[in-house]
Homo-oligomer: A and B are copies of this chain.
Amino acid sequence: MKFRRSERLIDMTNYLLEHPRQLIPLTFFVDRYHSAKSSISEDLTIIKQTFEKRGIGSLHTVHGAAGGVKYYVKVRKDEAKPFIEDLCALIASPERLLPGGYLYMTDILSDPSIVQKVGRLFASAYAEANIDVVMTVATKGIPLAYAVASQLNVPVVIVRRDNKVTEGSTVSINYLSGSAKRIQTMVLSKRSMAEGSKVLIVDDFMKAGGTVNGMISMLDEFKAEVAGIAVLVESENIEERLVDEYLSLVRLSDVDVKEKRINVGEGNFFTMN
């Protein structure tokens, strides 16, 4: 039984969105819909144009015998801009201030639609980079890491602060937290990452960068390398930043606990992209 074009377009859209960064041979769709290759090609042209026009993503066509089509998430700047502005406004609320100048961000990170959008922005920035794994440290970075990883079609590796029996044998490192200058420990299961992996590090918050730096030391232990660093919020006014190149969506420039004032602005997302 043949499929009508309208059905094919709906099902292909869903299929492509569910399989980002995977090369799908044209023959896969030919078999799926019992349709001619020329019809499938026309479908893909319509989808490609609509995805680009509506800011859904981009579709790359690979020609030749091993060819096919690949969907990448690609957020347009005019879509990213208002989202980051909304985030800034949300974060600037004085009720977020906690003792010690920390910010309560749990409500923002508990909203799956915000988390998904942040993931889409990060994945957009690294869509064409060579990335094997997304790494984060428990707990708050985890949802962001999965949101990025599902768009990049790679696994997530979670570094822990403590050792658990369910991790099997582990590698443990000590590192210096940047802001508090305390020695801390990080643990990662030995089975969790292959040697030589290219790793995108993701976290919710970066002050001096001690935690991110700890993850970089952990990568050394696994002979893996940093392919990128992406944080939701970075804090400015840091005497000595331990990490050079990174991507941030939001930048805290001034947190005054006494005056209950939080100054928030865009991160470097638009200058880095």
Chain B, Cβ-Cβ closest to A189: B106
Chain A interface size, under 10 / 10 to 19 / 20 to 34 / 35 or more: 35 or more
Main SS at interface, chain A: helix
- Taking the complex as formed, is A237 at the interface, i.e. its CB lies under 8 A from any CB of chain B? no
Q: A166 near B46 (CB under 8 angstroms)?
A: no
Q: A165 near B99 (CB under 8 angstroms)?
A: yes
- Taking the complex as formed, is A184 at the interface, i.e. its CB lies under 8 A from any CB of chain B? no
Q: Among A156-164, A213-221, A222-230, A246-254, which stretch is in contact with chain B?
A: A156-164
Task: Provide the A33-60 mask, 1 if CB < 8 A to any CB of B, else 0.
Answer: 0000000000000110111011010000
With A53-B7, A54-B11, A149-B112 known as contacts, the answer to whether A100 contacts B142 (CB < 8 A) is no
Q: What residues of B have a CB within 8 angstroms of the CB of A17 in the complex?
A: 14, 17
Chain B, Cβ-Cβ closest to A11: B54
- Taking the complex as formed, is A80 at the interface, i.e. its CB lies under 8 A from any CB of chain B? no
> Bound state CA distance, A143 and B146, in angstroms?
7
Q: A191 near B104 (CB under 8 angstroms)?
A: yes
- Taking the complex as formed, is A78 at the interface, i.e. its CB lies under 8 A from any CB of chain B? no
Q: B150 near A112 (CB under 8 angstroms)?
A: yes
With A9-B6, A106-B189, A192-B106 known as contacts, the answer to whether A112 contacts B156 (CB < 8 A) is yes
- Taking the complex as formed, is A113 at the interface, i.e. its CB lies under 8 A from any CB of chain B? yes
Q: What residues of B have a CB within 8 angstroms of the CB of A189 in the complex?
A: 104, 106
Q: B138 near A50 (CB under 8 angstroms)?
A: no
Seed contacts A10-B13, A10-B50, A139-B139; 12 additional CB < 8 Å A-B pairs: A6-B6, A7-B49, A10-B10, A10-B51, A14-B17, A98-B168, A102-B165, A106-B168, A110-B192, A111-B155, A113-B150, A115-B150
